[in-house]
Amino acid sequence: MSPDAEAQLADFLRQLNDVRRLSPHTLSSYQRDLKQLGYYCQQKAIVEWHKLQAHDIRSHIAARHRSGLGSKSLQRELSAIRSFFNYLLKNRLTDNNPAQQVKAPKQARKLPNTLDVDQVNGLLDAACNSMLAIRDLAMFELFYSCGLRLGELSALNLTDIDVRDCSLMVVNGKGGKSRVLPIGSKAIIAIEKWLPYRLKMAEPLVTALFVSNRGQRLGQRSIQLRLSLWCKAHGIEAHVHPHMLRHSFASHLLESSQDLRAVQELLGHSNISTTQIYTHLDFTHLATVYDQAHPRARKKS
């Protein structure tokens, strides 16, 4: 790319950081995705962004798809390209957005893996024989009780939990959104057992609800590892990861309540279409409702 084109990309990334204040992870994704577009331009001897046409973007995305990139990743790359060209349009550095009408190939939506109620009970009814086990059980109970994301649980502070009110505050969830969640009785009991040990383990200035044996905030990778060790120690053969407890929370709650909007709020989904995937998990209930309600399905008495 020409020096001017490189400067335009650098200015765009700087705006994402300074003006839009995107997270380092998101900023890194933009940079990586646009670098791939730069490689395409290099192969095609295109030195200015405004010379790219819609057929170039389609060709680039098709090549990325052939290299094994999935639909979600391709959609993310297209989103980054559209945002960049919208920036160029706004600054009158191009006269069109070649990615505007380009779509990524569709991919079959995978249903999330969940545990059934008996499996969850087997996971959470295990006995605790150490401080770390008491802490771990409190974490896993909270995962399932509130449907938390891994990052949300790791980020919880002691002040985010109200044991008397049986609630917690997710201060900075996905997209920077906060939400208040109820906590079930089993999780409250587990947390109350953990809190005296946390007082002994946590360093004085550490605010985290869950801390390591060194007294520092327990990181996401450590939580994943502890869940894996917990399953092995209690003879659970299924590969259980933290997000599976969130999926199970959503599936079980929706199965019992049939209240999609409430589950959406509890999960912190911005779009209800994200929550609707859990409706596909409960076909037995849907079939029962159909048999009872449809005039051509009801059995004659």
The pLDDT assigned to 298 comes to 57
Annotation marks residue 149 as catalytic: yes
82, 179, 186, 243: the catalytic one is: 243
Question: Can you give the pLDDT at residue 274?
Answer: 66
Where are the CATH 1.10.443.10 domain residues in the chain? 117-287
- What are phi and psi for residue 3, nearest 5 degrees? -55, -40
The answer to whether residue 179 is catalytic is: no
274 and 260 Cβ atoms separated by less than 8 Å: no
- 3-state DSSP call for residue 77? helix
- The pLDDT, as a whole number, for residue 142 is 92
Active site residue 239: no
Structure confidence at residue 248 (pLDDT): 85
What was the pLDDT predicted at 269? 74
**Cβ of 96: how many Cβ atoms within 10 Å?**
13
Please indicate whether residue 174 is annotated as part of the active site: yes
The CATH class for the domain spanning 117-287 reads mainly alpha
Q: How high is the pLDDT of residue 234?
A: 81
Check residue 16 and give its pLDDT.
93
Looking at 226, 246, 247, 252, which residue is catalytic? Answer: 246
pLDDT of residue 2: 93
Cα separations (Å) of 300 from 3, 289, 291, 296?
A: 78, 16, 12, 10
- Is 50 part of the annotated catalytic residue set? no
Specify whether domain 3-90 bears CATH 1.10.150: yes
Q: Out of 174, 177, 234, 298, which one is annotated catalytic? A: 174
Q: Name the stretches of the chain with pLDDT < 70.
A: 107-112, 270, 272-301
Q: Which position among 135, 149, 198, 252 bears the catalytic label?
A: 149
Q: Is 193 a catalytic residue?
A: no
Q: What is the dihedral of CA 45, 72, 88, 4, to 10 degrees?
A: -40
- For CATH 1.10.150, list the domain ranges present in the chain: 3-90
